Amino acid sequence: NGIPADYQITHLMGTELHVPDPEATAAFFQNWLGISVKDDVVELDDQQSIELFESDQPDVKTRFGRGSIDHIALQAPTKDDLFRFWDIAKEQHLNIEEYADRGWFKSLYVRDPGDNRIEIATTTPGFSLEEPILTMGQGLSLPPKFESQRAEIMAFYAKQGVDFSEGVREPTSVPD
Domain boundaries in the chain? 18-56+70-121, 131-159
* Cβ within 8 Å of residue 27, ≥6 positions away: 113
Give the residue from 30, 15, 14 showing the smallest Cα distance to 113. 30
User: Mean of the pLDDT values across residues 113-138?
Assistant: 84
User: Mean of the pLDDT values across residues 94-122?
Assistant: 93
The model's pTM: 0.71
User: Mean of the pLDDT values across residues 15-30?
Assistant: 94
Angle at the Cα of 52 from the Cα atoms of 83 and 8, rounded to 5 degrees: 85
What is the CATH architecture of 18-56+70-121? Roll (3.10)
* pLDDT for position 139: 79
* pLDDT for position 169: 43
* pLDDT for position 166: 53
* pLDDT for position 124: 83
Task: Identify the band that residue 83 occupies on the pLDDT scale cut at 50, 70 and 90.
Answer: very high
Return the SS3 of 154.
helix
Task: Identify the band that residue 148 occupies on the pLDDT scale cut at 50, 70 and 90.
Answer: very high
